[in-house]
Amino acid sequence: MFEAEAAGLEELRRAQAVRVPRVMSVGTGAGKAWLALEWIQISPASSATDAALGERLACQHRSTEPAFGWSRDNTIGSTPQLNDRDSSWVTFLRERRLRYQLNLAATNGYGGRLQRRAEVLLDRIHEFFSTYQPVPSLLHGDLWGGNRAADERDEPVIFDPAVYYGDREADVAMTRLFGGFGADFYGAYEAAWPLAAGAAVRTDLYNLYHVLNHLNLFGRGYLSQAVSLIDTLLAEV
C-alpha cells in the first residue's frame, strides 16, 4: 500500500501541476512498513487556494496516457483498486471500478435490490457515453476535502492519492460528494478546461464507486445511498 502511494505521489509530482509532498523514504523492516513524506505546514484552504487548485487540477488532467488505468494496482482507502489498462473507458469503469465493488459488496452480504438494480445499470452504462468519449487523464483518484489543503504560502497541496488515468470528470465529481470545495474552485476549473455536456449526470455515476467503497469499508449506513444513486442513474437512461 505504501509503495503504491509513493508511486502515485511521484506520478502527480511529475505532472508539475499541483503540489504534493515529496517522498523521502518508503520501505519495510523489523516487521513494520513506513512511508516518510516531506513535512508541509498545512492550513485550511481559502478561496484563493480553491481557485488555484481548480486551475492547476485542470493542468494536471492534461497529462494523459494512451489507455485507461495505470502501471500498477493501488488502494482506495484500504480497498484494493484494480488498474489493469484498457483502451475502453466504459469497460474499465464497469469492470475495474463498479463491478469489483459490487462483487465485494455481495461477499459482504449486500445483495437483493442493490445487486439487481446494479446489474441493469452495468448493462446500460455505455449509454452515458454515447456522445462523450473521455481521454485518459492523470487523476488524484480520491479527491475529497480531507485530501487537500493550503501550504505555508496559501498554495494548494494534495495528498493521499489513489492515482490512475481515467476520465477527469471522476476527480471533479468526488469533490462534490462530501462538499468542502468552493465556487472559486469550480469556476477556475471551468475557465481552464470546461466540462462536457452531461457531466452533472456522470457525477452520480462516478460517485457511485466511492459510495460502494464506503459501504464495503464502513457498513450498511451507505446502502440506501448506493441504491438511490443507482435508481437516479437508471432514470436517466
Residues marked as catalytic: 142
Query: Is there a contact between 163 and 8 (Cβ–Cβ < 8 Å)?
Result: yes
3-state secondary structure of 121: helix
Helix (H, G, I), strand (E, B) or coil at 109: coil
| Integer angstrom CA distances of residue 108 from 75, 87, 105, 117 | 18, 31, 5, 17
Closest CA to 114 of 221, 236, 212, 237: 212
Report the alpha-carbon distance of residue 70 to residue 58 in Å, rounded: 19
The upper half-sphere exposure of residue 60, i.e. CA atoms within 13 Å in the direction of its Cβ, equals 35
Which amino acid would we find at residue 223?
L
Sign of CA dihedral 176, 143, 1, 39: negative
Nearest residue to 170 (alpha-carbon basis) of 85, 23, 79, 60: 60
Query: Scanning the structure block, which residue is given the C-alpha cell 459510495?
Result: 211
